[in-house]
Amino acid sequence: MNNYIRKRLDSRYEIYELLGSGGMAFVYKAYDIVEKKNVALKILKSEYSENKEFIRRFRNESKAIKILSHQNIVKVFSVNIGSKIQYIVMEYIDGTTLKEYINNNKTNISIKNSIDIIKQILEALKHAHYKGIIHRDIKSQNIMIVNNNFIKITDFGIAKFLKDETKTVAIKSFGSVHYISPEQARGIAADARSDIYSVGIIFYEMITGCLPFESENDFSIALMQMQLDPQRPCKINTSIPPFLENIVLKSMKKNPERRYQTAEEMLHDIKIFEESSDVEFSNKWLGEDIEEENIEQKEKKTSKAKTKKIIFIATGIFVTSLIFTVGFMLFTMFTSYGASGIMKDVDVPDFVGMYLSDIENENYKFHWKIDSVYDPTKPQGVILDQDPLPGSKKIKAGATINLKVNSAGILIDVPQVTGLTGELASLKLMNAGLKSEIRMINDESKPIGTVLYSDPAESTKIMVDSTVILYVSKGPVESVVAVPDVIGKSIAEAKEELNDLKLKVSPDIEYEKNDLPKDTIISTKPLPGIKVNIGSTIDIIASSGVKKDKTIELEILLPQIKEVINLDIYVDGTHNQKVRVDTTAIKLKKFSFTANQGKKEIRVKINDQFLYRVYEINFNAPPNEAIKIIEKHDYPS
């Protein structure tokens, strides 16, 4: 929280500014007065300081990073797990997150830059995995970019040692849902391949400018991670080479066994991509795609001829398909009727997988009987089944063929969801071709998380792809409530949030000097996280808009003479003080200057005649950057 700013932690770390806030900790920029350098302090939030699980995760992060030593992983200098405050002292990275970089550039990130960043991430993970550590929360927000696309991986907050068999138990607890692997979403123990899946999503995000799965709620995204294939990157960005696309899609396979098994494997394919020409990329990808679809090819030539063979096979498949399609239409047009005009018997064609719009034309001499069905995993308008089956018998042109066509324009029953958990109910609705929205309401009769009823009600007929609202129990109305964290918000925002929880706000608002804008909340009494009775009054402390006074110490090295002199100090041209010093006895003299902001010019004269030094003190800068020497003159001995 912002209460730490301008304070010194353990008499060593002067906290200067808040860099960010995560799920369980605040990260601050601080100055280490012992090592004389900027550092990053990761401080566990006060509401979690007595939570054994969060302390375990916090300790695990420090333990994980301390055994890692890689240029692309943030360094940790020390750890303090005390009874009142827990923090990690880390390397300060002056840069931007990869997420910000992507948002600022969108599709302007070149393939070369994307590959360069991914290679560094993989090299870092290769080192971590070798040390027996998986990150489990790889995402673009946890990748810092410094000069020339050099990256550092941060936030090992939920890292796991490979020998630890503890399984993931909840999506919210482990990993970010936009980057989480399918096995993590299912609560299955993660391994190195889970990190690779997350890297694949980052790769996808960089080369397309968007995430593969988006939705209004986290649970829907988790379901997509488990069940849906992403849109092919080249459909979004046509400049993506096919082989590179294949690398991305392989890293994002739902089944970990079909993914890259190690970071080294993925790096190897990226190296092949970098060393090959565009034509080779296209051919190699096509060959792998054919293998994915289980098209068996007999390879009788040497391995040297394999690439050419793939070209001929791919070309042959295309030409054969073209000839078959044209030939089939001609056959249908000209052979269904003999020269005498008498209809001939023909084999039942195979229409499954084709689009209804492609066969509803004069080239096909049949009558169609359409039965609308729905399969959420298949495109709209595609034929799912037919009767008679293809090749099962001969029929005359003009005969009727029954087709089952995938269509969203049909009515289905809302399934039974009452009594299920919200997650299971959402999954059941998704499998039925319906969307879901969860709304939490108070209820004393059912356990927390249980579906009470749905709208529309169960067994109601609604259109496929409609949204069903699930009303889920959040338990009985509590008589106590935790004070929310309104620090950093305006007084108006804080009042609204507190009133929503049926808490009162004291009319006597206390104001203190602070670097934050006027009327910004800097603290509450009781503190955030403390449970109080509903209806309790909360005192809020807000910023007065006047910055805190800051004191800077200036050390002046005295001239190397042996006499008693007067030091006259002028601040912004005004005589401030006169100090008599014996240069025989002391070599340094300290002076303190106080202000809340801005700059001051300090002139030092000897005996009010000789200009010895001119300094500039910047009260807006960090302590190690606050003092600047403007003029320096040697005093004549």
Closest CA to 232 of 252, 218, 214: 252
For range 526-542, the mean pLDDT: 91
538: which 2 tokens? 């909360």
For range 279-308, the mean pLDDT: 37
Q: Which of 159-168, 183-192, 233-242, 328-337 is the most confident on average? A: 233-242
Residue ranges of alpha helices (H) inside 174-299 are 182-185, 192-208, 218-227, 233-236, 242-251, 263-275, 278-292
Domain 97-295 adopts which CATH fold? Transferase(Phosphotransferase); domain 1 (1.10.510)
User: What's the pLDDT band for 160 if we cut at 50, 70, 90?
Assistant: low
Domain 480-543 adopts which CATH fold? Trypsin Inhibitor V; Chain A (3.30.10)
- pLDDT of 258 strictly over 80: yes
Q: What is the mean pLDDT of the chain?
A: 82
- pLDDT of 310 strictly over 70: no
* Distance from C-alpha of 371 to C-alpha of 377, rounded to nearest angstrom: 18
| DSSP secondary structure letter of residue 377 | T
β-bridge mates for residue 396, sequence order: 345
Considering only residues 174 and 93, tell me which one the structure prediction assigns the higher pLDDT: 93
CATH 3.30.160, applies to 550-632: no
| Binding-site residue positions for ATP | 42
Given 10, 32, 94, 137, which residue is catalytic?
Answer: 137
User: What's the pLDDT band for 419 if we cut at 50, 70, 90?
Assistant: very high
Closest CA to 251 of 294, 205, 204: 204
Domain 411-473 adopts which CATH fold? Trypsin Inhibitor V; Chain A (3.30.10)
At 431, the amino acid letter reads: N
CATH 3.40.640.10, applies to 345-406: no
- pLDDT of 7 strictly over 50: yes
- pLDDT of 316 strictly over 50: no
Q: List all residues 6 or more positions away from 456 whose beta carbon is below 8 Å from its beta carbon.
A: 414, 462, 468
- pLDDT of 357 strictly over 70: yes
The pLDDT tens digits for 598-615 are 999 999 999 999 999 999
For range 263-288, the mean pLDDT: 67
Degrees (nearest 5) of the Cα angle 573, 575, 579?
A: 135
Which pLDDT belongs to residue 281?
Answer: 39
Which pLDDT belongs to residue 2?
Answer: 62
Asked if residue 617 lies in contact with residue 600, where contact means CB atoms within 8 angstroms, the answer is: yes
Which pLDDT belongs to residue 496?
Answer: 93
- pLDDT of 337 strictly over 60: no
> Could you tell me the pTM of the whole model?
0.48
Which pLDDT belongs to residue 45?
Answer: 83
First to last CA, the chain: 54
For 1-92, give the CATH class. alpha beta
Asked if residue 160 lies in contact with residue 134, where contact means CB atoms within 8 angstroms, the answer is: yes
> pLDDT > 70: what percent of the chain?
83
* Distance from C-alpha of 583 to C-alpha of 461, rounded to nearest angstrom: 96
β-bridge mates for residue 438, sequence order: 470
| DSSP secondary structure letter of residue 419 | T
At 497, the amino acid letter reads: E
Cα separation values, 57 from 23, 48, 61, 174, 502, Å: 12, 11, 6, 11, 33
When mean pLDDT is compared across 92-96, 427-431, 507-511, 541-545, the lowest value belongs to: 427-431
User: What's the pLDDT band for 175 if we cut at 50, 70, 90?
Assistant: low
3-state helix, strand, coil in the chain (%, to 5): 30, 30, 40
Which pLDDT belongs to residue 330?
Answer: 41
* Distance from C-alpha of 554 to C-alpha of 577, rounded to nearest angstrom: 14
Asked if residue 24 lies in contact with residue 57, where contact means CB atoms within 8 angstroms, the answer is: yes
Considering only residues 72 and 409, tell me which one the structure prediction assigns the higher pLDDT: 72
| DSSP secondary structure letter of residue 107 | G
Distance from the Cα of residue 487 to its chain's centroid: 24
Q: Is 371 a catalytic residue?
A: no
The pLDDT tens digits for 386-407 are 998 887 788 887 889 999 888 7
Could you identify the residue written with the tokens 């690779």? 196
Q: Which of 293-302, 401-410, 544-553 is the most confident on average? A: 544-553
Q: Which of 44-58, 102-116, 469-483, 558-572 is the most confident on average? A: 558-572
In the chain, DSSP finds a helix count (H) and a strand count (E) of 14, 34
C-alpha atoms less than 13 angstroms from C-alpha of 459 in its C-beta half-sphere:
0
Considering only residues 287 and 122, tell me which one the structure prediction assigns the higher pLDDT: 122
Closest CA to 285 of 321, 240, 229, 254: 240
